[in-house]
Chains A and B, each alone.
Chain A
Amino acid sequence: GQNIDQPTEMTATEGAIVQINCTYQTSGFNGLFWYQQHAGEAPTFLSYNVLDGLEEKGRFSSFLSRSKGYSYLLLKELQMKDSASYLCAVRDGASGTYKYIFGTGTRLKVLA
């Protein structure tokens, strides 16, 4: 089956660093994605990992370990505008198609 786990809520302070973890189980792993979703808005793409290791994009980095079924999103120099839900999603290619399975999201609150 398919399963994605991530913490429900996290709180951090402006200027700090926060790491949001995601573990997954899937039969046909074909990439892991992180999305940001502000309340009442559509998800927007943050990062993509298909090979093991760290991908860095400015203040955001994402790490993947396929053998452990584990990823994390690292946010540095937190800003108030980073308060949002962060969605971990796995692309599953087991059936020959490419559907995305999303976790429930981690609500991040950034405090002044």
Chain B
Amino acid sequence: GAGVSQTPSNKVTEKGKYVELRCDPISGHTALYWYRQSLGQGPEFLIYFQGTGAADDSGLPNDRFFAVRPEGSVSTLKIQRTERGDSAVYLCASSFLRGSPFQEQFFGPGTRLTVL
């Protein structure tokens, strides 16, 4: 009965490095979302998976950002050549059914990424 988990909770890296952020959704949840949240702002949509495929990746800011969900469960957000502007809290959320009228998202605790 665990909730959404994200690892690591904190990541400090240097400009130009590559990072991977992991999300473990609630078991059985088919939809998985990645968001980025800067201080004082609301979550900014990045990408949405329905099963294994990216249903909507229109929020990814540029080609340095990529996400996968190869088996329809765990997802990894990958950021290449990190920049200081990538510093933010990266939130993952999952939900059960795409077509149901009510689709509550359950959020993970987030990964705080700091790019020095």
Q: Which residues of A contact B (CB under 8 A)?
A: 4, 31, 33, 41-45, 48, 50, 87, 89, 91, 95, 97-105
Contact = CB atoms under 8 A, between A and B. Distances in A.
Contacts of B41: 104-105
B48 A41 contact: no
Contacts of B40: 104-105
Contacts of A97: 48, 50, 55-56, 98
B45 A99 contact: yes
B33 A42 contact: no
A55 B106 CA distance: 20
Q: Of A4, A95, A102, which is in contact with the most chain B CB atoms at under 10 Å from its CB?
A: A102
Contact of B105 (A50, A100, A101, A105): A100
Interface in B49-103: 50, 55-56, 58-59, 91, 98, 101-103
Contacts, number: 63
A97 B48 CA distance: 8
Contact of A102 (B44, B58, B98): B44
Nearest to B50: A97
7 contacts: A31-B103, A43-B43, A87-B42, A91-B103, A97-B48, A100-B33, A102-B42
B42 A42 contact: no
Given A99-B45, A100-B33, A102-B44, A45 B98 contact: no
Interface string B16-47: 00000000000000010101000011111100
B16 to A, nearest CB: 28
A42 B31 contact: no
Contact of A98 (B35, B48, B91): B48
A95 B47 CA distance: 13
A102 B42 CA distance: 6
